[in-house]
Amino acid sequence: MHRASWFGLALLAAPLAPAVRAGDVAVVVAPKKGLQDVGTLAIESLTLATGDGTQSIPMSQVRWIEFGDPDRVILADGKELSGKLALDALDLTTKDYTHHVHKKDKLAWLGVPYRAKPEAGRVVEGMAPNGLVYHLRMPEGWSAKAKTAFPAVVFFHGSNMSSRSYVDTAASAWPSLAEGRILVGIDGEQRNPRKAGEPRTYNYTYVDFVGESTYQGFPGTDRESPALVAEALQELKSFLPISKTFVGGHSQGGFLTYSVFMNYPQLVDGAFAVSAGLIFQAEPSAYAREAIRDAQRRNPLAIVHGENDPLVEFAMARYAYEAFEDEGFPRLRLFGSSSAAHMFGVLPVDEAIVWLERHASDDPAALVAFAEKSAAAGDPRDALAALARAESLDKGAKLKAKIAAVRKKLNDDAAAKGKPIEAAIKASQDDAWVDGFLAYRAKYGLADAAKGSMQAYAALREKQKAAADVIFNEAREAFSKSDKDGGYAKYEQIVKECYATRWYRPCKRWLAERDKKK
């Protein structure tokens, strides 16, 4: 599948249709059906017929056009003009100097990309070269003269919404989050129809995107939201003082977050998926290339979800967490809330972002301090992950003794608790040991002293994997044919025979849920 690269995408958009040829104007045009097109139009002005007469609009003043009845032209100052544009088609010159003619009645909108002008403590808007609208808020007290770099927190919105509301919510609900951080919201490329004066709303696309995964895609899906967002991130980094980039989204934006996190790990320093689930192409088992797998595992991932969510079940967050844990992602945490539902502003998003920043720190002393605090709080997983990063950054080995002391204590604990588990795995006849091992792995799986248990489990898992995948697919087929008894019977077979595989936990849970309903 062809994957378009941001690095090869120039700011190639082009001017509008019949008019005076002046300079080329970079634009993005979106057909009602099909892929967006980027290029230039040779046009100086537009002619718009309104109820008050005909007026000429310089292209230098145009931000975007919504085609319809009437056509709407939105200007740089926010003013909106309605009427009928005097043009039948747009002759777009693309990057390779070919011409694409777009008939007006087949177009949804046209955008003229423009770079936001940052202001301290105020949200400003811009449009990336590929047409994605973004909202930017610099920290209070920021000054372009200071040349200070800040971490950026990038939000992806829920369905039929705008990311502007998420930037506003983050700044008001968690004021400490807005201090010393750049807040950015990136809108989806699908613009919803609206009436004059109504706020704009958007949707993302990502369902068919396969990116770096082993799945095959459909032509054009490499221009879905994950690729477009990756390009927008590159644009933002080109002119903003960004030190670290943390991406996260809510609901529909959370599904997108997983895809961006998995397919573009080189562009982010961590991610927080909120009230969402995994599409199968973004599951960690769907990636085979070692370079991408290594890059994915270097970044921390926070999963945030309300346990009372009526729209996206909490089980989806738990499944995602287990999928990443099974695939050995070291910096991973599930931030659940027993009181919250789907509403973004009451979820522990701020806690998740602070946690991401601690794991992504470039200060080895801060990482060791985080490790010590985590170990004292009974969280060896965070401690061991922080120690590993600290060690890689401690070039002068100044912290070697301190790192070794913390690690020794964690390894001693891991060794004492791991020996009986390793013995149980090797003598395994059933699943009696599995829950104990999983609890042990969640805490000590990163410890050197846990290698024996981890290797024994991996060996048994490999033996059972092929059969488990076949049985699980048989279960899915049975459920698709409304054969619930047959499907549950397959789940029971997995629990009984394939207890060292990824399907054990969800199947056991689904069986328990079935029994509760009886």
Q: Determine whether 190 is exposed, middle or buried from the number of CB atoms within 10 Å of its CB (0-12, 13-18, 19+).
A: middle
Report the alpha-carbon angle 353-359-364, nearest 5. 135
Nearest to 89 by CA among 79, 108, 102, 74: 102
Cis peptide before 151 (omega within 30 of 0): no
pTM score of the predicted model: 0.91
| Residue 369 to residue 507: CA distance in whole angstroms | 39
Angular region, 76: left φ>0, alpha ψ -120 to 50, beta rest? alpha
The tens place of each residue's pLDDT in the chain, 518 residues long, gives: 333 322 222 222 333 333 333 468 999 999 998 889 999 999 889 999 998 889 999 999 999 999 999 999 999 998 999 999 999 999 999 988 899 999 999 999 999 999 999 999 999 999 999 999 999 999 998 998 988 999 999 999 999 999 999 999 999 999 999 999 999 999 999 999 888 778 899 999 999 999 999 999 888 889 999 999 999 999 999 999 999 999 999 999 999 999 999 999 999 999 999 999 999 999 999 999 999 999 999 999 999 999 999 999 999 999 999 999 999 999 999 999 999 999 999 999 999 999 999 999 999 999 999 999 999 999 999 999 999 999 999 999 999 999 999 999 999 999 999 999 999 999 988 999 999 999 999 999 999 999 999 999 999 999 999 999 999 999 999 999 999 999 999 999 999 999 999 999 999 999 999 998 87
Strand partners, 80: 74
Q: Tell me the C-alpha distance between 289 and 183, whole Å.
A: 33
Which of these, 438, 448, 445, lies nearest to 406 by C-alpha position?
448
Pair 28, 189: CB distance under 8 Å: no
In the chain, the domains with their CATH numbers are 6-111 (no CATH), 123-360 (3.40.50.1820), 365-517 (no CATH)
Tokens at residue 477, please? 């087929």
Query: Maximum CA pair distance of the chain?
Result: 87
